[in-house]
Structure 1
Amino acid sequence: MKVLLISNMYPSKKYPAYGSFVQETVRGLEELEGMECQVVAISEREAGLKKNLLKYSRLFLDTGKALLFSSYDLVNAHYIFPTGFLALPAALLRGKPLVVTSHGGDVRLGKKNAPLKALTSLVLHKARRVVAVSHYLARELEGEFSLPREKIEVINCGVDTDKFFPRPREKALAELGLNPRPKEEKIILFVGNLIELKGLMPLLRAFASISPSLPQARLVLVGEGPLKERLLQEASSLGIKDRVTFTGPLPHHRIPTWMSAAHLFVLPSYQEGFGLVALEALACATPVVASRVGGLPEVVTHERDGLLVPPGEEKALAEKILLLLKDEKLHGEFSSRARDSALGHDFKRQIKRLGGVFHSLGPSS
Structure 2
Amino acid sequence: MIILHIIPSVNPVSGGPIEGIFTSAPILRQQGCDREILSLDMPDDPWVKSCPVPVYPMGVSNLKYQSWRNKIPWLRHGYSPEFSPWLKENIKRYDAIIINGLWNFTSFAARGALAETGARYFVYTHGMLDPYFNRVSPLKALFKQLLWWVSEGRLVNNATAVMFVSEEERALAPKSFWPYRAKSRVVPYGIVDAPGDAKAQVKMFRAACPGVADRRYILFLSRIHPKKGCDLLVEAFAKIAAKDPDLDLVIAGPDSVGSVAKLRETAARLGVASRIHWPGMLKGDLKWGAFHAAEAFVLPSHQENFGIVVAEALACRKPVLTTFRVATWREVAEYHAGFIENDDLNGITRLLDQFVSLSAQEKREMSARARNAYVDKFDIATMAPQLIEAFRTS
- Structure 1: which amino acid aligns with 2:97? V
Match of 1:40 in 2: 38
Tell me, in whole angstroms, the C-alpha distance in 1 between the residues paired with 2:116 and 2:387. Answer: 24
Tell me, in whole angstroms, the C-alpha distance in 1 between the residues paired with 2:332 and 2:285. Answer: 23
Match of 1:360 in 2: 393
Tell me, in whole angstroms, the C-alpha distance in 1 between the residues paired with 2:24 and 2:118. Answer: 24
Match of 1:19 in 2: 18
> Which runs of no fewer than 5 residues in structure 2 stay unpaired?
48-65, 135-140
- Residues 283-302 of structure 1: matches in 2 within 5 Å? 283-301=315-333
Match of 2:354 in 1: 323
- Residues 3-14 of structure 1: matches in 2 within 5 Å? 3-11=3-11
**Alpha-carbon shift at residue 176 of structure 1 (Å):** 1.8
**Alpha-carbon shift at residue 358 of structure 1 (Å):** 2.2
Runs of 4 or more above 6 Å deviation: 14-18, 44-47
Match of 1:196 in 2: 226
Structure 2 SS opposite 1:19? helix
Match of 2:375 in 1: 343
**Alpha-carbon shift at residue 98 of structure 1 (Å):** 1.1
Equivalent of residue 82 in structure 2, options 61, 72, 93: 61
Match of 1:81 in 2: 103
TM-score by length of 2: 0.78
Matched, 1:246 2:278: yes
1:16·1:252 contact (CA, 8 Å) conserved in 2? no
> Cα–Cα, structure 1 residues 7 and 189, in superposed 2: closer, same or farther, change >3 Å?
same
**Alpha-carbon shift at residue 335 of structure 1 (Å):** 0.7
Q: CA RMSD in A?
A: 3.3
Tell me, in whole angstroms, the C-alpha distance in 1 between the residues paired with 2:114 and 2:24. Answer: 20
Tell me, in whole angstroms, the C-alpha distance in 2 between the residues paired with 1:17 and 1:296. Answer: 14
- Structure 2: which amino acid aligns with 1:220? V
> Cα–Cα, structure 1 residues 92 and 110, in superposed 2: closer, same or farther, change >3 Å?
farther
> Which runs of no fewer than 5 residues in structure 1 stay unpaired?
none
2:296·2:318 contact (CA, 8 Å) conserved in 1? yes
> Cα–Cα, structure 1 residues 305 and 187, in superposed 2: closer, same or farther, change >3 Å?
same
Structure 2 SS opposite 1:100? strand
TM-score by length of 1: 0.84
**1:67-126 deviation per Cα after TM superposition (whole angstroms, max 9, x unaligned):** 225633321111133343322233232321111112103545885222144343221111
**Alpha-carbon shift at residue 163 of structure 1 (Å):** 2.8
- Residues 69-148 of structure 1: matches in 2 within 5 Å? 69=90, 71-82=93-104, 83-108=106-131, 111=134, 112-113=141-142, 114-118=145-149, 119-144=151-176, 147=180
1:74·1:358 contact (CA, 8 Å) conserved in 2? yes
Tell me, in whole angstroms, the C-alpha distance in 2 between the residues paired with 1:252 and 1:203. Answer: 25
> Cα–Cα, structure 1 residues 28 and 106, in superposed 2: closer, same or farther, change >3 Å?
farther
**Alpha-carbon shift at residue 146 of structure 1 (Å):** 6.2
Tell me, in whole angstroms, the C-alpha distance in 2 between the residues paired with 1:303 and 1:354. Answer: 23
Q: Which moved more, 1:106-115 or 1:282-291?
A: 106-115
Tell me, in whole angstroms, the C-alpha distance in 1 between the residues paired with 2:253 and 2:74. Answer: 21
- Residues 163-202 of structure 1: matches in 2 within 5 Å? 163=195, 167=198, 172-177=201-206, 185-202=215-232
